Structures are given as C-alpha cells and as structure tokens.
Structure 1
Amino acid sequence: AKDSLKGRLVFTGVVGEEGSASIGTHEVLQNGPIPDCVIVCEPTNLDIAISQKGSATFNVSFKGLAAHSSQPEMGRNAIQLAADFISLHYRSFYKNFSHFRDPLLGMVSLVPVSIQGGGRNDTIPDSCSVKLNCRYPGKIKLKDIENYLINIAKNVCEKYDHCHFEVCQLTRELDWKLSEKVSFNALPFAISKNSLIVKILEKCIIEVTSRKPENIGVSYWSDAGIFGGLAKVPTVIFGPGQIEVAHGPKEYIELTQITTAAKILSSVVLRICGLKKIIA
C-alpha cells in the first residue's frame, strides 16, 4: 500500500505578477477549478499575513503652451506645472488622509513614480504627465484618491492661464469567468484571524518552530489580491524571507528559513488534504 492525498493539491508557478496584470494567476483561475483555500508564498519572515494593501496607478497630465525656449514668458511650461503639482501634493496628502490608519497596514501612500515631458532644447514643453502609485488599505475608496488628485491639479491650474489637466486611473480590461469584464487593478485583501486556513497554518508553525507567529499586514502587493480580493477565496500570505531586502542589491533568503517553511507547508497540506491508503 502507499499513501495518497485525499484532497487535491495544486502548485502553481505563474508569470506576470509584476507589471503584467497577473496574467498567470488569471489564467489559472480561468481554466482550473476555484480552490477552497490558497497560500501565496511571499516573504513574511514565517509570520502570517492576513491583509495586504492594494495597488493602483494614476496618471495626471498637464497641457501648457509651447514657445521658444529663449522666450519662456510667452509659453506655459508644462514641466513647471507638474513640478508645482508634486510639491503641492506632498504638502497636502498627509492632511487629507492621516485620519485613516489601518491597525495592520498603516496609512495609504501615494507617491510619484515617473514623470515625462519635453524633449527639445529650444522649446518650452507644452505637455507633461506624472504617474503616481497608490498603496491603499481596503477601506480606502480609489474614487476619493482620484478626487483628491483632481483638486490638487485644479489648484495648480487656477494660478495660470493656458493650463489644462486630466486625471485618470490606469487599468487593464481582462476577461474573467466570474463576471463579463473586470478593470484590473491590484486589489487589497483581508481575512479574519479566526478563519480556518489561518488557524491551521498557525498550528503548523507552532508545531515546527515552537513559536507562535504574528498576524501581520503587508504593504507590498501579491496575487493574494486576485485569490482573496477578486475571487473571494480564503487566502493567506506566508513564506520565508524579509521584504526589507527584496528587490535590493543584496536580496537573499536564509536557507534555514526555506527548509523550515517547507516543513510547515507540508504539515499544512497533510492537515487540509489528509491521507488515504491506496492498495498497489
């Protein structure tokens, strides 16, 4: 006789989680069965992440007036408009959103990540755009972020003539079998600390490490936002390593944490799926 799992275990190694709208996980959920629960393996230092910030990107574009660079007073420099916008944003954002602080995830953040405008040495640029990335807890409404950006841009343009702006959230339309279409943004997720998957994982961590793990929130984004936020599947984030060294010049994970995580995950699988005997 040999042992076999009673339940079905699916391991997925997917592409596109960073920068490609999580096309790998979307493909898994489109063509496979919806799972009963999910563990997304990301660096949590062997603690249990039960909540995660969402991620959304906004574009704010300014339209000024072109002129010869030797006659700057004849134009309206769109790069200057964007610079004024960024400066006013940094002076205003905390005052507008500091009232909300999630106990695990902290405050919402909204930071400029790119700016594009101009190009010719002899021309005052008449267009410039700023992209801002927002990391937000689930109770924050993205419409409030968009309205805030509109008000900041409006305050800038009210000071000048020949100043126009547009604010939009950058999304990607995806086919999704749970609905006709979804506008993809990286959704937040949260799960109760008393949910079954959290309690099972906690018990297995204690058995393997003799340490009670913390329930934490993470500000980075992962495919837990797809499983837990969009598909509404009970989901946790768990894994070896620390986010503080991820994507850096000295990124690493301790080997002892990798082997410990493997033992914990094996124990979780056995508890959830169980074993059955198969007669050869």
Structure 2
Amino acid sequence: MTLTVDNLRELVSFPSVCGEPNGDIISWIEQFLSNIGARTLRVAGDRPDASGLFATIGPDVEGGLLLSAHSDVVPVAGQNWSSDPFVLRESAGKLFGRGSADMKGFLACMLTIATKAARQNLKRPLHLAVSYDEELGCLGVHSLLRALDAANVRVGGCIIGEPTEMQVGVAHKGKIAFRIICRGEAAHSSNPFKGRNAIEMAAGMVEELRGLQDHMRTGMDQDTRFAVPFSTVQAGLIAGGCALNIVPELCTVTAEMRLIPGQDGKAYLEWLGEAARRVTTAMGGGEITLEVLNAYPGLDSPADTAICSLALHEAGQNSICALDYGTEAGLFREKLGVPCVVCGPGSISQAHKPDEYITRSELDRCDLFLEKMVQKFCN
C-alpha cells in the first residue's frame, strides 16, 4: 500500500494537463518500469509534444492481461482548491490531488502490480498501456493502438481502470464532437437587410439540434442500462460576430452527440446536413458546413467473457453495469478486438472537481484486485 501511495504522490506531482506536453510524466513512468525489468515501448503521439507508453512483463507470447490508464488530467484553472492540486495531501484517509481519482489512482496501482509481477515467473504476460489526451475525447490512445496493432500484440483481456468504485462496467456510450460553421454576409448594422446574419443561422441550427434531440428521445433505439436510455445531442459552445454594428458573417456552434452502443451517428449527421439546407433556404442563402472534430465508439462488451467473469469474482461484485461516461475501452475493443471491462478505484463523482480525492481503502481494494487478476490471468 505504501508503494501505491508513493507512486500516486509522484504521479500527481506532474501537472500533466490534457493538451499540454507530457514528456516528463511518461519519462518517469518509463524509467520506473525499466528499473523493474519491464520491456518498454515509447510511442510517438499524433502531436509532436506528446507520447504514449506500452510495457510488458513476462514471456513474449499471446494472451495475458492488459491494464490501461490515461496519464492526463483536466485543468485546475478557475477552481478553488484547498491546497496545491499537484501536491498529494492526505487527510482522514483521503488523498487529495488532481487526477487522484481520474485516473492516476489506478495508474499508481498498475505500477505496484507491475513491481510484484516482475518478481514472478509469469506464464503469460502482463501488459501496461498509458495514453494521453483522453480528457479531450480519447485522442491520444489512437497512436498507441496503431502501434500495438502493427506489433501484432494480442492479449486475453483488458481492464481500463477509470473510477467505477470497483464496479465492473461492460458498456458505455460513444461520442461525436462536431462543429457547425455558419457563414453569412457582413453589412453595416444600420441596414442589416443588406447582409446575412450568421448568428441567426446558428440560432436556427441550435433549434434543429433541439429537434434532433426530440427525435432521439422518442425513437425506437433505447438502452435502459443507462440513466439516459437514449442518445443525446447538445450545443456546448457558440462563437460569432466581431462588433455590435456589423452584421456577423461567421458564427460557429460546437456540439456533441452521446450515442448508445451500436449507433455510429452517421444518420444523425446526415439529418443535420439536411437541417443546414433548411436553415440556409429560410435565410435566403449563406453556407452551413459540419466538421467532425473527434469521435470514439461506444462499448458493449459481452458479459460472458473470461475477463468479465474473473473481474466480477475478484472485485466481489454480483452484477455488471453500464457507465454514463465514455472511456477508451470502446477503442481497445474496436481496434484490437480485445475483450474489455472498465473497473477502477475511486468515484467519477470526484472527477474534474476541486479537492478531487481517492481514499486509501479504495487503493487497497484495487491493489488486491489486480494482484488476484494477475494470479489468475497470467499464471
């Protein structure tokens, strides 16, 4: 347990905010794993100042167990923390620090079980994957998955350790983030009829998003495992105009869909394409285009896989669950075809908040869980 807390203290000390360079934390993890004898592969990211990491302990054979975590955290700007968010602070059994729950707590446990596994004569390998920019829409794991696929890495099961309070998740929604770009025509505001107002066009598209949401809510596709049993769409950001006395010629709306497993969103994007034509027709012209920013698939992993059955048993759980937030698990299953579960210490209710914390008891449970999983899956 002391090792896990020590690991967490080191990990929290790196301000590995999503979208920022992550070389320091990846180098520290890489050195830690190299020191215990793991074979490591540093994978260049899709942006030049970021990288992922893959490591293996045990024989070079197929099968074994893959543990996966992201190294990035959300920003702390504008949040009212009681202490330095990048210095682990303990009080009454709670360990406070940015990322302690989401998800450096699990990453710390990964390093602990790797240390223990390195002293064993494993029959099947233990793999560890560390990604970046998960908090920006699972962006950073793509280069890592390409590298693993190219290296023909084939594992028996994968645990993504997002904070589930050690419940075993087998399903989550997918996501499409997109931008609606509205282009009108500038004019002096003293005679706005000589222009074409891009903000009004954007307002029309926001109304269309509301119509799409109504369609999603009342459609036949429902999945009652989720708190919201249908797909959702919402506008999160809007930007347009440059001065009050100018008819705005450009306005953008950034929005996202959260899709129940099995939906790829193509039909909804086509629906919005038709909506754009309706809006421009009503405005007497202009142009509206859709730009997909990023996407990841949902997860709907069978409950009868070996990894799921064993995870339930060793986590002391009687039933599986569906998660209302997205993870990298859907990508691991889609790109590598590996059976996945999502199971980790801490609560998602602590994530992204000031004074984020995880408890010692939660880390204890995860350490024991991973030790048992390695015993059963790799020996």
C-alpha change, 1:122 and 1:243, in structure 2 (3 Å) is: same
Q: Structure 1 stretch 196-205 or stretch 224-233: which is displaced more?
A: 224-233
Per-residue CA distance 1:177-198 (angstroms, 9 max, x = gap):
xxxxxxxx31222211111111
The within-5 A match list for 1:100-115 is: 100-105=221-226, 106-115=229-238
**Residue 309 of structure 2: SS of its match in structure 1?**
helix
Paired AA for residue 323 in structure 2: V
Distance, in Å, in 1 between the alignment partners of 2:217 and 2:266 is: 13
Conserved? CA contact 1:52–1:221, under 8 Å? yes
Residue 162 of structure 2 is aligned to residue 42 of structure 1: yes
- Contact 1:50 1:217 survives alignment (8 Å): yes
SS of the equivalent of 1:44 reads coil
2:304 maps to a residue whose letter is: N
1:132-143 residue pairs with structure 2 within 5 A?
132-143=255-266
2:17 corresponds to: none
Q: Which residue of 1 aligns with 2:126?
A: 9
Distance in 1 of aligned mates of 2:158 and 2:143: 15
Partner of 1:205: 315
Alignment of 1:82-121 (within 5 A): 82-99=202-219, 100-105=221-226, 106-121=229-244
Instruction: Give 1:188's aligned residue.
Output: 298
Aligned mate of 2:337, from 224, 232, 254: 232
Q: How many residues align?
A: 255
Match of 1:145 in 2: 268
Instruction: Tell me if structure 1 keeps the 8 A contact 2:145–2:335.
Output: no
Alpha-carbon RMSD? 2.1
1:129 counterpart (216, 233, 252): 252
Secondary structure (helix, strand or coil) at the match of 1:11 reads strand
Q: How far has the Cα of 1:221 moved from its partner? A: 2.0
1:160 aligns with 2:288: no
The answer for the alignment partner of 2:292 in structure 1 is 169
1:62–1:81 contact (8 Å) kept in structure 2: yes
* Larger RCO: 1 or 2 (CA < 8 Å, sep 6+): 1
Specify the alignment match of 1:247 in structure 2: 352
Where do 5+ consecutive residues of structure 1 fail to align? Answer: 172-184, 207-211, 275-280
- Give 1:96 deviation, angstroms: 4.1
Q: Which amino acid in 2 is paired with 1:10? A: H
What letter corresponds to residue 238 of structure 1 in structure 2? C
The CA distance in 1 between the partners of 2:319 and 2:165, in whole Å, is: 10
Give the C-alpha shift of residue 28 in structure 1. 5.0
Pairwise CA distance, 1:133: 1.1
Q: Is the 8 A contact 1:25 1:223 kept in 2?
A: no
Moved more, 95-104 or 68-77: 95-104
Task: Map Cα deviations across residues 152-180 of structure 1 (whole Å, 9 max, x no partner).
Answer: 32332232213321224235xxxxxxxxx
Distance 1:92 1:69 in 2: 32
SS of equivalent to 2:214: helix
* TM-score normalised according to structure 1 size: 0.82
Give the counterpart letter for 2:260 in structure 1: P
Shift of 1:240: 1.2
Segments of 5+ residues of structure 2 without an aligned counterpart are: 1-118
State the identity as a percent: 24
Counterpart of 1:13 in 2: which secondary structure? strand
The change in CA–CA distance for 1:101 and 1:86 in structure 2 (over 3 A counts) is same
Q: In terms of mean alpha carbon deviation, does 237-246 or 160-169 score higher?
A: 160-169
Q: Structure 1, residues 8-35: CA drift from partner, whole Å, max 9, x if none?
A: 1012232232333424633652465232
